[in-house]
Amino acid sequence: MLSKSGDAQAEARELLTRSYVASTQSFFHYVPHGDAMASEKEFGTAYQKLAALTHDFQNVDHQSLRAALTKEPSTLAPLRMILGFTHNELAWTMNLTKPGTKTRGDALKRFERSPHPRQASSQDLEVIETLVTTVLAIMGGEVLQIPPAARPFFHSKLDKRDTSGGWGSVAADARGVPYSALLYQRYVGGVWRQVQDAYSEVKGDRLLEMPLANLLDSNGISYYQSASGATGAARTVERFGLSPGPDFALPEQSPTVIVESKVGEDGGTVRDKAARIKNMADMAKARGLLACAVVDGRGWSERLSALADVVIATEGRTYSLATLEHLIDIPEIAALRTTGDL
């Protein structure tokens, strides 16, 4: 393909990418879950406690919310869902309500999922006070209003049947809602939307990285695997001087091969992920390292040009979940067998 030009190269490029797309699959129906997410039973229990401490939402004030969050931090989950806010959104609004607040979304997540029984610390009590003030301010329309000029084009997160009338409509819907209301909620937001957003990295970790780690383990190949998220990538950069930090470096001591894995379920996402892999491959070449990629998901079939960029950047060393076992056939990787025993 690289030896051609013009229309002939474009045709060869399309044939090349379609041969790779044939082995990819879709994972859009996979809904991730993790230890930080409450089960339906746990969520139901937290809801019942919140309802009981607010008299079925008929007595929602600073005192009742403070009591709920102090006695049962897990009640923050149903309270957030009433608002429709993520941990990060709520943390940001806390700073808006009380400037100088340093609580972050991950801290709220830990608070919400803290073990029981527990004794609220002074720091917890300070967070609770700010949380209660923020929740009441949101429901009272004191913060995050939609300007009149934007109203024809945008809804507020509170423009839904259970919160459109404040706590009064919450109390009314707590007695039951039509099934059509549940379906409409899915229609406009998706029943799993917040889960997908909160645990988006789980797909890559479990779908591609875990099988790749298992493959390397079963072949006795030593490797270093970056921890999830930006922090993990930063640690890899610090340890090996490889930027961007790849998902895998093998062998662990004095790496000669790096591997980046990316699940892409939409065209826009894979375009950005392809650019990262290309940068990684360029960096690897400059350092005399071999670059490989493992990609999968329906998004790659929507952006064939992005997939072509990955294949070319890795000189063909691009695999999917279905072809992953052939990664071991690369001579430079096959030569690393038994290094895991060293």
**How would you class 212 by CB atoms within 10 Å of its CB: exposed for 0-12, middle for 13-18, buried for 19 or more?**
buried
Report, as ranges of residue numbers, the positions in the chain whose pLDDT lies below 70: 32, 34-36, 116-118, 190-204, 340-342
The tens digit of pLDDT for each residue in 327-336 reads 999 999 999 9
> How much is the pLDDT for 188?
75
Q: What is the 3-state secondary structure (H, E, C) of the chain?
A: CCCCCHHHHHHHHHHHHHHHHCCCCCCCCCCCCCCCCCCHHHHHHHHHHHHHHCCCCCCCCHHHHHHHHHHCHHHHHHHHHHHCCCHHHHHHHHHHHCCCCCCCHHHHHHHHCCCCCCCCCHHHHHHHHHHHHHHHHHHCCCCCCCCHHHCCCCCCCCCCCCCCCCHHHHHHHCCCCCHHHHHHHHHHHCCCHHHHHHCHHHHHHHHHHHHHHHHHHHCCCCCEECCCHHHHHHHHHHHHCCCCCCCEEECCCCCCEEEEEEECCCHHHHHHHHHHHHHHHHHHHHCCCEEEEEEECCHHHHCHHHHHHHHHHCCCCEECCCCHHHHHHCHHHHCCCCHHHC
Which amino acid, 162? D
For the chain, domains (ranges, CATH) are: 6-27+199-341 (3.40.580), 40-196 (no CATH)
> How much is the pLDDT for 195?
55
Torsion of CA 321, 325, 329, 334, to 10 degrees: 110
| Angle of helix 105-112 versus helix 87-97 axis, rounded to 10 | 110
Number of other residues whose CB lies within 10 A of the CB of residue 309: 20
> How much is the pLDDT for 94?
95
| Residues whose CB falls within 8 Å of the CB of residue 212, separated by 6 or more in sequence, listed in order | 248, 259, 261, 294, 324, 327
> How much is the pLDDT for 227?
85
> How much is the pLDDT for 190?
64
The pTM of the full predicted model, rounded to 2 decimals, is 0.68
Strand partners, 292: 259
Torsion of CA 243, 248, 252, 255, to 10 degrees: -50
> How much is the pLDDT for 175?
93
